[in-house]
Amino acid sequence: MKMNKWLAALLAAWFLIPFFSAKAETAPAFTVDEDAVLRDMDRSWRQGYIPAVGGNRWTMILPVRSAEAAGPVTAELVFPTERYSFFRPGKMTMTAQLETTGIWRVRFSLDLFPNQKNADYPCVIRLTGKNKEGKELVTEIPYTIRMRGATESIEKARIEITDVRADLNTGEEGEVKVTVTNPCSATVIENLELKISDSAGHILPRDAETLKIGTLGIGESMTVSYPVTVTEKAVVAPHVLKLDLAWTALGQAANYSANYTVAVRQEIRMEQGGLKMAPAVTAGDSVSLSLPIMNMGKADIVNVLATVTLPGITERQSVLVGTIQPGETKQAQMVLSPAKDITGDFAGEMTVECTDQDGNPASFRVPVNLKVEAPVKVDAGKTASGESVKKEIPAAVTWGLAGGCGLLLVLIMTQSLVLRRKIHRLEEEKL
């Protein structure tokens, strides 16, 4: 008597998951008529028909419709494994006869194990028959029997978050993709909902705060996209997101929370201030060039490398600028030295490459043009235009030279006179 009361309470908690036919290119041979009310049914399946339970026995009536079948229809209740069956071992196959035009009355009446626990039991109702030509007809209908009303459950309902991915950029809309899995063996997850929050307030729900996922069957996995908006003031750095899951299972509400880290990035905003370089240089001389590089973003730009390619002068010449912090400007500077034996107009480019802190690359190019001129040679006897010139000695220099020569002559004559007198005096003394 006590068991019958328990079963009576259990009866009110049993129901059939909505039917759907197996995938096929054509219509299934058999379908469930959810509007029909047959013998021993108090209402249709659409109106909420509930299988009867009493005396450790479970009875279900299923109206099956077919436009092709002729003669009896065989129905079999198939469980993936006996582990998930709450029926006593026995025959789970019955034969149905035509009840009314186009409808067969399928009736299962099976013995139950006593002391059942709350659980969900997936199974398949396999319907077979033949048409007028004798061709076999088969349809399998997924079906779940739910045991409720017991004081214990067969297992603890749980959900696993198996993957979280996000591609988020400051000031842009994005999505957080979450993969959830139902690892339970006899529990269907229902009314599953997801909420995602950022304690910093930089990653906000784009639409509703709660994303309704729905039902997650036994052993099933599902990847859902949670739409978000990343604010302009979001810090370009890893953000910790809190994922809150709520659901019902085995007639009870449950929830689960976990934290996951996702990266918030910003498109590299590297700008240049214009190339500074003389337009021309003499062959054999050197010319300096400089390019201001500015970081207009919110994160460091790293591994900044400037490379000049100027065919005829240099095939590749590079300088490492390094890391440029947000709001900082650095110069890419180098010196070009054309050979002494080349002249003409040369065209090339400067390529500036960099990456963000996650290794995402960016680059831009600036044209480089340089004219190399031949050295200017000037003849001492010609003007720059090539005309001959006659050199003239200034008058002051001329008179100065003449005066010097005259003075030198006077000195020589005076010295000669003095020497002659000395010689004459010596000769007189000897005599």
Q: List the CATH number of the domain containing 347.
A: 2.60.40.10
Among residues 343, 373, 403, the one where a domain terminates is: 373
Distance CA 165, CA 179 (A): 9
In which region does residue 417 sit, left (phi positive, over 0), alpha (psi from -120 to 50) or beta (all else)? Answer: alpha
Residue 381: what pLDDT?
53
In a domain, 72, yes or no: yes
Radius of gyration of the chain (CA): 51
pLDDT given at position 88: 77
Q: Which of 351, 266, 262, 274 is nearest to 300 (CA)?
A: 266
320 and 203 part of one domain: no
Instruction: Tell me: do 17 and 143 sit in the same domain.
Output: yes
CA 349 to chain CA mean position, Å: 32
Residue 410 lies in a domain: no
- 115 and 167 assigned to the same domain: no
Query: 294 with 239, same domain?
Result: no
Q: What pLDDT does 7 receive?
A: 39
Residue 383 lies in a domain: no
- Mention every residue, 6+ apart, whose C-beta is less than 8 A from residue 276: 289, 290, 291
Does residue 314 lie within any of the structural domains? yes
Residues 66 and 114 in one domain: yes
The answer to whether residues 190 and 245 touch, using CB atoms and an 8 Å cutoff, is no
Residues 310, 260 share a domain = no
d(CA 114, CA 111): 9
Q: Are residues 8 and 143 in the same domain?
A: yes
Please check whether residue 412 lies inside any domain of the structure: no
What CATH number is attached to the domain comprising 16?
2.60.40
pLDDT in tens, the chain (431 residues): 344 433 333 433 343 444 443 444 578 999 999 999 999 999 999 998 988 887 788 899 999 999 999 999 999 998 876 665 677 777 789 999 998 889 999 999 988 888 778 888 888 999 999 999 999 999 999 988 888 877 888 889 999 999 999 989 999 999 999 999 999 988 999 999 999 999 999 999 998 999 999 999 999 999 999 999 999 899 888 999 999 999 999 889 999 999 999 999 888 889 999 999 999 999 999 999 999 999 998 888 999 999 999 999 999 999 999 999 999 999 999 999 999 999 999 999 999 999 988 888 999 999 999 999 998 876 555 554 555 545 555 566 666 777 777 777 777 777 777 777 777 676 666 65
Q: Tell me if 297 sits within 8 A of 232, measured CB to CB.
A: no
Tokens encoding 109: 């009446």
Question: Model's pTM, two decimal places?
Answer: 0.63
State which residues form the domain around 226. Answer: 160-265
Q: Which residue has the tokens 């400089």?
A: 290
User: Does 388 fall in a domain?
Assistant: no
Q: Which of 211, 245, 265 is the last residue of a domain?
A: 265
- Whether residue 13 sits in one domain with residue 109: yes
Q: Which of the listed residues 241, 265, 289 is the one where a domain comes to its end?
A: 265
Q: Are residues 209 and 332 in the same domain?
A: no
18 & 82 share domain:
yes
pLDDT for the residue numbered 290? 96
Cα 274 to chain centroid, rounded: 33
Provide the number of structural domains found in the chain. Answer: 3
Question: Are 277 and 342 members of one domain?
Answer: yes
415 assigned to some structural domain: no
Instruction: State how beta strands 160-166 and 136-147 pair.
Output: unpaired
Task: With respect to residue 431, please indicate whether it lies within any of the assigned structural domains.
Answer: no
Same-domain check for residues 12 and 135: yes
Q: What is the Cα 410 distance to its own chain's centre?
A: 106
What's the CA angle centered on 287, arms 310 and 341, to 5 degrees? 65
How far apart CA 178 and CA 176 sit, in angstroms, is 6
